[in-house]
Amino acid sequence: MESGVDDKVRVELGARSYDILIGPGLLAKVGDLTASVLPATQGAVIITNPAIARLYGGTVERGLRSAGFKVTTLEAPAGERAKSLAAANKIYGRLLELGADRQTVILALGGGVIGDLAGFIAATYMRGVPYIQLPTTLLAQVDSSIGGKTAVDHALAKNTIGAFYQPKSVIIDPLVLETLPPRELRTGLSEVIKYALISGEPLLSRVRELLSLDLGGHNERTRPKAPDARLTKPEARERIHDYVTEPKARKTQQTGFSGALLAGIIADCCRYKAEVVAGDERDLGRRAVLNYGHTIGHAIEVAAGYRRYNHGEAVAVGMIGAARIAQAKGWLKPADVRLHQELIRAAGLPSTTVKVAAAEIYKHLKHDKKREQGSDRLVLLKGLGRPVVAPVEPNLIKKTIAGLSGGVK
């Protein structure tokens, strides 16, 4: 294994196969790792946003330069507005001015928004150039950077313009999670919990161990500040060094939380996703199981106008909904549903009620389902680690959503 790489997960897609490399400190080694997958490449363009550029841009640039690449960094705007054709069009223009060609590699340095945008640009600039994902959020590390889904938003609907386009490599450095705002960490933990519930053991036990202490924000005031306090919102200024620490890690005495444990869990999530994607690259069948909690979750996000709840928070509530439906069908035991709630609460995520009107949630769920030409089918568990896509009677969905909605009309 390459130096510094603790875990390597292969995504088997024939000619489009690639490795996910996981290891603390890998961001400093991106130059050599890129050279080893793209030996003939000379030009490299990093696509990132201003906050991430300030934190990690220098490290990645230096690594690429010392490996012999000619490097340029292009910054997309902060936030979701980076995921637009307008932002993509500006970057196409910069790439043309730079003389970027089909041999130029694009490196997506950031979270899901940057990964989706840079992946879409890589898929469409000159009909496709190689790209590498450098995910800097937990959500991107365990989910969005893997599998080749790229997209920008249309004014009328999110993620509706995109392509399936696989990266040449995904390089995951868990140490970057140190600078992740706690709420962003929690949204990633929601996906981690999803993997634990749909894959079952042994990941489930590891995630229970990880979440043995409340990650909801305790001790935040005593933690060191982020490198630059202007980077992030007030509630997110705390570093989470206590949670994500050195690799072969000493268990942090204070929390019992081990960085190495999290790195291993990230690798397990990647392995699961890689295996599902290998069997269903274009999301026509089995890949649907990765949407556990996402159907109701997405309807909550939309109903709340993409404001009150972020992706992971909405998915957490969606998983509770799916668990209750499975219980009503006799597929999950009450203890399984309680486990859902305990994991979600331990991660500091909302577990049972959201402040959105049930009718609104149901309306958006119906709209999504109609677009998919599906009847009322949801990903449900027939037991922990046994996801299936199953039809659900509309009344059961309605009743369940009413139970999740915190009394708002």
Choose the binding region for a copy of itself from 72-80, 143-151, 302-310, 328-336 (rule: CB under 8 A). Answer: 143-151
Other CB atoms within 10 A of residue 224 CB: 10
Q: Considering the complex, state which of residue 42 and residue 205 has its C-beta at the smaller distance from a copy of itself.
A: 42
CA angle 29, 87, 138 (to 5 degrees): 40
> Is position 370 an interface residue for a copy of itself (rule: CB under 8 A)?
yes
| Interacting residues with a copy of itself between 274 and 303 (CB under 8 A) | 282-283
Nearest to 60 by CA among 74, 77, 76: 74
| Interacting residues with a copy of itself between 71 and 130 (CB under 8 A) | 85, 88-89, 92-93, 96-97, 99, 101-103, 123-128
297: phi then psi, degrees, rounded to nearest 5: -60, -45
> Is position 157 an interface residue for a copy of itself (rule: CB under 8 A)?
yes
Shortest Å distance, C-beta 48 to a copy of itself: 21
Shortest Å distance, C-beta 89 to a copy of itself: 6
Choose the binding region for a copy of itself from 145-153, 214-222, 353-361, 395-403 (rule: CB under 8 A). Answer: 145-153
> What's the rounded Cα separation, in Å, for the pair 376 and 369?
7
- Identified binder of a copy of itself from the candidate list 2, 214, 372, 393, rule CB under 8 A: 372
| Interacting residues with a copy of itself between 160 and 179 (CB under 8 A) | 160-164
Helix (H) or strand (E) holding 109: strand 105-110
Within 159-280, where are the H helices? 182-199, 203-210, 259-279
> Is position 335 an interface residue for a copy of itself (rule: CB under 8 A)?
no
Contact 28, 59 (CB under 8 A): yes
Q: DSSP letter at 401?
A: H
The alpha carbon of 154 is separated from its chain's Cα centroid by a whole number of angstroms, namely 21
Shortest Å distance, C-beta 157 to a copy of itself: 5
| Interacting residues with a copy of itself between 187 and 206 (CB under 8 A) | none
Written as six digits, the tokens of 333 are 């035991």
First to last CA, the chain: 56
Contacts with a copy of itself by CB under 8 A lie at 85, 88-89, 92-93, 96-97, 99, 101-103, 123-128, 149-151, 154-157, 160-164, 282-283, 370-373
